[in-house]
Amino acid sequence: MSKPRVIIVGGGAAGFFAAIACAEANPEAEVLMYELTANLLAKVRVSGGGRCNVTHACFEPRDLVKRYPRGGRELLGAFSRWQPRDTIAWFAARGVELKTEDDGRMFPITDDSATIVECLTRSAGSARVQVRTSCGVKEVERMGEGTGFAVTLTNGETVTCDRLLIATGGGKMAGGLALALKLGHTIEPPVPSLFTFHIDDARLKDLAGLSVENAGVSVTSLKLREQGPLLITHWGMSGPAILRLSAWGARALQGVDYKFTLTVNWLGGRPLETVRNELAAARTANPRKQVVNWNPFALPQRFWERLVAAAGVAPTAVWTSVSNQLLAAIAGQIAAGEYVVAGKSMNKEEFVTCGGVRLGEVDFKTMQSRVCPGLFFAGEVLDIDGITGGFNFQAAWTTGWLAGKAMAGGSA
Ligand X SMILES: Cc1cc2nc3c(=O)[nH]c(=O)nc-3n(C[C@H](O)[C@H](O)[C@H](O)COP(=O)(O)OP(=O)(O)OC[C@H]3O[C@@H](n4cnc5c(N)ncnc54)[C@H](O)[C@@H]3O)c2cc1C
Binding site for ligand X (CB under 6 A): 9-15, 34-37, 42-43, 46-48, 52-53, 136-137, 167-169, 175-176, 349-352, 379-381, 390-393, 396
Cβ-based nearer residue to ligand X, 69 or 175:
175
Q: How far is the CB of 244 from ligand X (least distance, A)?
A: 14
CB closer to ligand X out of 167 and 330: 167
Return the number of the residue (86 or 349) whose C-beta is nearest ligand X.
349
Q: CA geometry: angle at 263 spanning 259 and 266, to 5°?
A: 135
Q: Could you tell me the smallest distance in angstroms from the CB atom of residue 393 to ligand X?
A: 3
Shortest distance (Å) from residue 8 CB to ligand X: 9
Cβ 234 to ligand X, closest distance in Å? 19
Distance CA 227, CA 204 (A): 19
Handedness of CA 341, 346, 352, 354 (dihedral sign): positive
CB of 56 to ligand X, least distance (A): 8
Tell the smallest beta-carbon distance from residue 392 to ligand X (Å).
Answer: 3
Its sign, for the CA torsion 235, 350, 262, 334, is negative
Write down the least CB distance from residue 127 to ligand X, Å: 17
Q: Are 67 and 387 spatial neighbours (Cβ–Cβ below 8 Å)?
A: yes
Between residues 26 and 55, which has the closer beta carbon with respect to ligand X?
A: 55
Q: Report, in Å, the least distance between residue 126 CB and ligand X.
A: 20
Q: What is the sign, positive or negative, of the torsion defined by CA atoms of 269, 273, 274, 279?
A: positive
Residues whose CB is less than 8 angstroms from the CB of residue 278 and which lie 6 or more positions away in sequence, other chains included: 296, 297
Which amino acid, 160?
T
Report the candidate in 179, 172, 173, 144 with the shortest Cα–Cα distance to residue 8. Answer: 179
Whether 199 contacts 347, CB under 8 Å: no
Please check whether residue 237 is in contact with residue 220, taking contact to mean a CB–CB distance below 8 angstroms: no
Which helix (H) or strand (E) is 312 found in, with range? Answer: none
Q: Which residue number, 136 or 404, has a Cβ lying nearer to ligand X?
A: 136
In angstroms and rounded to an integer, the radius of gyration of the C-alpha atoms of the chain is 25
Contact 52, 119 (CB under 8 A): no
Who's near 178: CB < 8 A, 6+ residues apart?
A: none
Distance of CA 391 to CAs 63, 71, 104, 345, 383, Å? 12, 11, 11, 21, 14
Cβ-based nearer residue to ligand X, 334 or 352? 352
Smallest distance from the beta carbon of 113 to ligand X, in angstroms?
A: 8
Give the residue with the Cβ less far from ligand X, 48 or 337. Answer: 48
- Closer residue to ligand X, CB minimum distance, 243 or 262: 243
Residue 119 or 329 with smaller CB distance to ligand X = 119
- Residue (54 or 330) nearer to ligand X, CB: 54
In whole angstroms, give the CA distance from residue 330 to residue 313.
8
Closest-by-Cβ residue to ligand X is 12
b/e map 369-384, b = 16+ CB within 10 Å: beebebbbbbbbbbbb
Q: Nearest approach, Cβ of 58 to ligand X (angstroms)? A: 12
**Element housing 265 (H / E):** strand 260-265
Question: Closest Cα partner for 24 from 161, 123, 167?
Answer: 123
